[in-house]
Amino acid sequence: MNVTDMVAELLDKYRGGVAPFASMGDPVLRRPADPVTGQIDTTVLKELSELMLATMHATRGVGLAAPQIGIPLQIAVIGDTAEVPAEIATARKRIPVPDFTIINPSYTAAGDPVSFYEGCLSMPGYQAVVPRPETVQAEYDDLDGVRHVERITGWPARIFQHETDHLAGTIYIDKALTRSLASNETYLSRWTQPTPVDAAGALGFSLS
Judge whether 15 is annotated as a binding position.
Answer: no
Interhelix angle 42-58/3-14, rounded to 10 degrees, is 50
**Distance in angstroms (rounded) separating the CA atoms of residues 7 and 41:** 11
**Distance in angstroms (rounded) separating the CA atoms of residues 119 and 7:** 26
Judge whether 57 is annotated as a binding position.
Answer: no
- Active-site position among 47, 118, 134, 163: 163
Q: Is 47 a catalytic residue?
A: no
CA atoms within 13 A on the CB side of 96: 5
Distances in Å between the Cα of 38 and the Cα atoms of 4, 51, 162, 207 are: 10, 19, 25, 43
* Binding-site annotation, residues for Fe cation: 120, 162, 166
* Residues designated catalytic: 163
* Binding-site annotation, residues: 120, 162, 166
